[in-house]
């Protein structure tokens, strides 16, 4: 991570981004999940300026990697008390 990314992470003020204006939400979601932001140059900088107020700099690519889903099945079996437990506490 470089310094600007660390600074960006420190400046994020909001955990819930439902308070973003509707015209910025799609841009934010695209940036957050690593999708390309297809905006004209002027629109990109308008969105960037507005999102900087929330501590988000869309000019720095968000480094997102999809992790594979691993499912582990655990089989349960009935448990019986050991002989020493039954003799001592029964």
Q: Which domain holds residue 83?
A: 1-90
**What is the C-alpha separation between 77 and 61, in angstroms, rounded?**
49
Contact 51, 24 (CB under 8 A): yes
Domain count, the chain: 1
- pLDDT tens sequence across 18-64: 788 989 999 998 888 888 899 999 999 999 999 999 888 999 888 77
Residue labelled with tokens 């297809």: 38
pLDDT at 7: 46
pLDDT at 6: 47
Q: How does residue 90 score in pLDDT terms, banded at 50, 70 and 90?
A: low
Q: How many residues does the chain have?
A: 90
Helices and strands, counts by H and E, the chain: 4, 0
Q: Which residue has the higher pLDDT, 5 or 41?
A: 41
Instruction: Name the pTM for this structure.
Output: 0.56
């Amino acid at each position: 991570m470089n310094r600007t990314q660390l600074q960006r992470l420190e400046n994020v003020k909001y955990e819930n981004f439902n308070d973003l204006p509707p015209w910025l939400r799609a841009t934010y979601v695209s940036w957050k999940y690593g999708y390309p932001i297809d905006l004209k140059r002027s629109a990109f900088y308008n969105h960037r300026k507005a999102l900087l107020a929330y501590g988000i700099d869309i000019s720095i690519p968000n480094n997102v990697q999809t992790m594979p889903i691993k499912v582990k099945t655990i089989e349960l079996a009935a448990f019986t008390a050991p002989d020493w437990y039954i003799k001592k506490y029964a």
